[in-house]
Structures are given as C-alpha cells and as structure tokens.
Amino acid sequence: MDADVVVVGAGPVGLLLAAELELAGAQALVVERLAEPSREPRARGVGPLAAEALQRRGLGARLDAFHPRGRADRARDHGSEKGHFGWIHKIDQEMQDEPHRTGVLIAQPDLERVLAEHLDRLGGKALRAHQVTALEEDGDGVTVVCGAPGGELRLRAAYVVGCDGGRSTVRKLAGFPFPGTGPLMTARRADADVLCPAGLPPVGRTPTGTLFHAPGAVGTFDFEEAEVDPRSPVTTRELEASLCRVAGTEVTVTALRGATRFTDQARLVPSYRLGRVLLAGDAAHVHSPNGGQGLTLGLLDAANLGWKLAAAVDGRPGLLDSYTAERRPAAEAVLHNTRAQSALMRPGPHTDALRDIVAELMDLPDVNRYFGRMLNGLGTRYPLPEAGPDAHPAVGTHCPDLVLTAPRTGGADRAAGASLYALTERGGSVLVHTDGAGLPPTAVEREGTDRESPDRESAVTVVRVGAIGGGELSAVLLRPDGVVAWAAAAGAPADPAGLDRALRTWCAPV
Ligand SMILES: Cc1cc2nc3c(=O)[nH]c(=O)nc-3n(C[C@H](O)[C@H](O)[C@H](O)COP(=O)(O)OP(=O)(O)OC[C@H]3O[C@@H](n4cnc5c(N)ncnc54)[C@H](O)[C@@H]3O)c2cc1C
C-alpha cells in the first residue's frame, strides 16, 4: 500500500479529511490535479459548525485573524451585515438562540492555505499536478491511476475518497448516481470595469434577474438564458450579454480581470459510499452557494468521516455506514433550502409579492430564528441508534466549546484546561465528568492516561472537572467530530448503561 487512504482533491474538504485521518492514526495521501493552489474567489467563510470543527483542532486563532477583513468585504458587497435568505438580508445574529456561535469569514484560498499547513504539521502528504484518471477496486483495496508529470502513476490504498469537487471524476469513475434538479439560473461574478451609457440600474432585483455592481466588480443572477458549457471560461462577450439582459440596457465590459460562473443545480448522491470508494464535499452534493452553506457542509463531511474511516483502515469498518446516515440528511436540508431561495429569486411580480411577505415575516423573532437555524445548521441532530428515547437532548448535536472549571479537591493537577475544545486538539473522544455524575469506576479508570498514550482501541481522553459550562451538565462524552455521544444533566441520575453503550458504539467500534 502507498497509503491507507488516497484522498483525491486538495480543496478544503480533501485537506481537512486528510488531516483528520492522520490525527486518527491512518496514513493519508492527497492527490491534486492543480500544480498550484487555486486563487479563485469562492466561499467567503464557514458557518458556526465548521468554524467549531476547526477550533477543536486548535485553528481558531489562525482563522479569527481573517475575520474582520472578511466581515468588511461581505458588508460592502451585500450592503448589509445581516445574513440573507434568497438575498433578503434580515437574519440577525443577535436574535438567534445561540448568538455566540458564529461562523468565521475567511476567503476560501486563505482557508485552504491554513488547512494545508495544518496537514503538513500532522505529517500528511500531498502530491500536486497529479490528476486521477482511473480507479480499479478489488477485495483488498483500490488502485488509483493518476496522470503525473513523470508519466502514469498507480497508487494503492485500502480506501479512496473523492473530494474532487462538483464535477468529481471519482464519483463518475465509481458509478455513483447523482440525481437532482437542473439549473434555474446562472450566476456570474467578475472583477471587471464596465461602461453603461444609460447608467446601471441600482443593485438588486431587475425584471430579468439580480444585478450587483461596485467599483471594479459586477455580478448577475441571470434567469433568462440557455445553459452554457460549465467548463468553458467566462468570456467578455458572455459577461456583457448577461449584464445587458439583467440590467435591461447596453453594457460594455472594458476590462475583465477574472470571473467565475455557477448555477443553482442541486444534486446529491444516494449513498456516500460504494465499496471502498467514498465521497465528501461537493463531490457528493452540489447546490447554489446562496446562504454560504456548501463549504461548511463539506468540512463537516470530512470531520464526520475521518475517524470512522481510520477505524475501518484499522480493521473496524462498523462505523462507516453511519457516515451516509448522518451526513446525507444534512445535505438534503441544504439542497431543499437553496431550491427555495432560487424560487424566491425568480424575477417577476408574483415573486416580488412573495418576497414582500417573506421579508415581513422575517421581522418576527421566531421566524428570524427559524431562518437563522436553517442556514447555520445548529439544529443538526444525528439520530444516534444506541441512544435510547430518554437520552439527553444534546445527544447527536455538535457541542459548542464549554468552559471547564477545575475540581476543588483532589486530582486538581491533571484537571481540565479552561475550555472543552482545548482537550480535542489531538483528536479522539473526550469524556468530561464532575463528581456529581457519579460515574462507575469502569468508566473513569483510564482517567488521565489516554492523552499521553492514546491507542486505537479506546482513544478516549477522560477528564474530571469541577463544573462544565454553565453547570447544566454533570458529564458529557464527545465523539472525535465533536458530536455529543452521551450526556448527563446535573442533578439527574447519570445512566451509566447509556454511557457504556455510547463508549462501545463510538469509542471502541468493531
Ligand atoms: C462562485 C462560488 C461561490 C461560492 N460561495 C460560497 C460561499 O459563500 N459559502 C460556501 O460555503 N460555499 C460557497 N461556495 C461553494 C464552495 O466553494 C464549495 O462548497 C467548496 O469549494 C467545496 O470544497 P471541496 O473541497 O469539496 O471541492 P473543491 O473546492 O472544488 O476542491 C476540489 C479539488 O479537487 C481537485 N480535482 C478535481 N478533479 C480532480 C482529479 N481528477 N484528480 C485530482 N484532483 C482533482 C480540484 O482541482 C480541486 O482542487 C461557492 C462556490 C462557488 C463556485
């Protein structure tokens, strides 16, 4: 084997997946067709769940440094600090249930650089200028065939994961179906100078689409055109034609420095795994970028898959099926709301009327929270099969960072850091408990040992603390992806059988 897992694509999802595999003890090899990282301006940032996934790996401060600039850029381009649904900018962070759980605004190329450095620190390897052209799967593994500068290269691994974007070669080679809906509109974003003798209409809706312009930049959401070849570069002529259609007046492009095009087609694979081939990120799901959810979705795929696939490499494939079961519904929800946003952006007086009504509804605090929760994904709750009906409501959700207070007596020197996420940087599961939880000795016998000598059988860091967060919980078990596998409410009986089931299911899988 050349690696345990070949990860195809050094986009943000492939880079994070490779890092998560390395953290969980599997050797990952990334192959990327581009010789140099792309500078294409795509996502402006990540939502709260992806931001937290990166904070759990110690990348929080690095990302935060980019946030003020990203925030100013977005406010300038959107004309608002608020989040939007179908470009109705009314989602107010202060009105949300958990306003402190926010995303981070960082341009995608900067994020990719941070992730590449993170992977490098963990010892992960990436081969650039290697384009995957064929896959050969057999009972023991997969051979990945790449076109490389020195000729064809054949790489052998136990698994291959396609993180190779919306036009995924891996998805096509492995025969994954990709059903969904075609595009209603084509969007273009360009760094360009334009001349418009009649004067450009104001930014916003027009009778044929939506128009954006700022000094040196233009964009359209164009609902009135035949499909273009998505692989062809955006030309001056094409941009001009779209600007004329959407602005409803003559527009000349006098300088084009760079442009991107995307559509709102929405497609999703029925299963994220076929044998030894898996998909993550845009390779598994595509949809319009409205609401800025695609990158977060893909990064959470990576966080969900890394440790499960590492266990499979280690001969314990029992968790792999939970990957599709947990992540596909999250993607379905995003496809659903982006389709609704496209419908709300269609031109015409009927949509204008509908938008007015939605905009008024968004002023109601409950409705504002409804839209906020839909787009930030904080309502995501995986149905963990081993958790009974009486499981704590936090089980299956992604745990925010919580302040941990050191215990007052005994064990203080090996007690908690200031934050729960400080315990998650090296991967593995984390069990944090107070004495009040009254956990049985079997659950805590490994306390204080695993951080120094984690092993693959039960990579659980057990830490005794004085208090967790605001004191609502007496114990919490986090999976390596930050999902609450088990929790006990302070003052309630702790349910050690539930803890035992969670430990056996997620921390010592077969
Ligand atoms: C214009 C635009 C704006 C967007 N805005 C937002 C936003 O605001 N918020 C948001 O969350 N998302 C946004 N998105 C979506 C976001 O960019 C994607 O969800 C994200 O890039 C997905 O990451 P990925 O790693 O899955 O795929 P990609 O970033 O596409 O990376 C795939 C990688 O695989 C490589 N590759 C492809 N084929 C092969 C092959 N055969 N062999 C080897 N390597 C290969 C590619 O070169 C690439 O580096 C936007 C997208 C676009 C196009």
Same domain, 229 and 286: no
Radius of gyration of the chain (CA): 24
**Mapping DSSP to helix (H, G, I), strand (E, B) and coil, where does residue 405 land?**
strand
DSSP E strand boundaries for 163-216: 180-181, 186-195, 204-206, 209-214
Same domain, 208 and 147: no
Ligand 1 pocket check: which of 145, 234, 262, 295 to mutate, most ligand atoms within 8 Å of Cβ?
295
Q: Are strands 28-31 and 3-8 parallel, antiparallel or unpaired?
A: parallel
The enclosing domain of 409 has a CATH number of: 3.40.30.120
Same domain, 302 and 411: no
pLDDT in the model for residue 39: 87
> Tens digit of pLDDT for each residue in 260-300?
999 999 999 999 999 999 999 999 999 999 999 999 999 99
Ligand 1 near 301 CB (within 6 A) = no
Residue 381 covered by a domain: no
Same domain, 342 and 409: no
**Is pLDDT of 457 > 90?**
no
Residue 382 covered by a domain: no
Ligand 1 atom nearest residue 260's Cα: 1
Dihedral sign from CA coordinates of 124, 127, 132, 136: negative
Ligand 1 near 103 CB (within 6 A) = no
* 193 CA from centroid of ligand 1 (Å): 26
Average pLDDT of the residues in 205-225: 90
Mean pLDDT of the chain: 91
pLDDT in the model for residue 417: 54
Average pLDDT of the residues in 1-25: 97
Helix and strand tally (H, E) in the chain?
Answer: 13, 26
**Is pLDDT of 251 > 70?**
yes
Average pLDDT of the residues in 186-207: 92
Ligand 1 near 34 CB (within 6 A) = yes
Ligand 1 near 108 CB (within 6 A) = yes
> Tens digit of pLDDT for each residue in 138-181?
989 999 999 999 899 999 999 999 999 999 999 999 999 999 99
Domain count, the chain: 3
pLDDT in the model for residue 410: 52
Same domain, 207 and 299: no
Contact 251, 188 (CB under 8 A): no
Query: In 3D, which of 216, 256, 223 has the Cα closest to residue 86?
Result: 223
Single residue among 263, 284, 312 that ends a domain in this structure: 263
Same domain, 153 and 76: yes
* HEC string for 440-460: CHHHHCCCCCCCCCCCCCCCE
Ligand 1 near 6 CB (within 6 A) = no
Residue 420 covered by a domain: yes
Average pLDDT of the residues in 20-42: 94
Residue 129 covered by a domain: yes
Ligand 1 atom nearest residue 168's Cα: 38
Ligand 1 pocket check: which of 34, 84, 108, 186 to mutate, most ligand atoms within 8 Å of Cβ?
108
pLDDT in the model for residue 50: 98
Average pLDDT of the residues in 467-479: 94
pLDDT in the model for residue 413: 39
DSSP 406: P
Q: Are strands 277-279 and 209-214 parallel, antiparallel or unpaired?
A: unpaired
> Tens digit of pLDDT for each residue in 349-378?
999 999 999 999 999 999 999 999 999 999
Residue 395 covered by a domain: no
Ligand 1 near 144 CB (within 6 A) = no
pLDDT in the model for residue 273: 98
CB atoms within 10 A of CB 240: 17
* 112 CA from centroid of ligand 1 (Å): 10
Confidence of residue 414 (pLDDT cuts 50, 70, 90): very low
> Of 107-111, 166-170, 255-259, 489-493, which range is least confident?
489-493
Average pLDDT of the residues in 25-36: 97
**Mapping DSSP to helix (H, G, I), strand (E, B) and coil, where does residue 2 land?**
coil
Confidence of residue 458 (pLDDT cuts 50, 70, 90): low
Own/partner long-range contacts of 144-151 (Cβ < 8 Å, ≥24 apart): 144/6, 144/8, 144/31, 146/31
* 335 CA from centroid of ligand 1 (Å): 16
Give the closest residue (by CA) to ligand 1 atom 27: 165
> Tens digit of pLDDT for each residue in 105-116?
999 999 999 999
Same domain, 108 and 137: yes
The pLDDT > 90 percentage for the chain reads 79
Dihedral sign from CA coordinates of 23, 419, 82, 80: negative
Same domain, 122 and 11: yes
pLDDT in the model for residue 411: 47
pLDDT in the model for residue 453: 41
Ligand 1 near 282 CB (within 6 A) = yes
Single residue among 216, 240, 263 that ends a domain in this structure: 263
Average pLDDT of the residues in 9-16: 98
pLDDT in the model for residue 449: 44
What is the per-residue DSSP string for 99-143? TT---EE--HHHHHHHHHHHHHHTT-EEE-S-EEEEEEE-SS-EE
> Tens digit of pLDDT for each residue in 226-249?
667 878 899 999 999 999 999 999
One-letter amino acid of 193: D
pLDDT in the model for residue 416: 47
Residue 383 covered by a domain: no
Same domain, 160 and 207: no
One-letter amino acid of 321: D
Single residue among 215, 231, 263 that ends a domain in this structure: 263
Residue 217 covered by a domain: yes
Contact 505, 49 (CB under 8 A): no
pLDDT in the model for residue 495: 86
Residue 220 covered by a domain: yes
**Mapping DSSP to helix (H, G, I), strand (E, B) and coil, where does residue 85 land?**
strand
Same domain, 258 and 298: no
The strand pairing partners of 46, in sequence order, are 104
The enclosing domain of 245 has a CATH number of: 3.30.70.2450
**Mapping DSSP to helix (H, G, I), strand (E, B) and coil, where does residue 172 land?**
helix
Query: In 3D, which of 415, 491, 485, 482 has the Cα closest to residue 451?
Result: 415
Same domain, 278 and 247: no
Q: How far apart are CA 363 and CA 19, in angstroms?
A: 42
Give the helix ranges, DSSP H, for 144-235. Answer: 169-174
Same domain, 418 and 314: no
Q: Which residues form the domain of 488?
A: 404-507
Ligand 1 near 261 CB (within 6 A) = no
Q: Which helix (H) or strand (E) holds 367?
A: helix 365-376
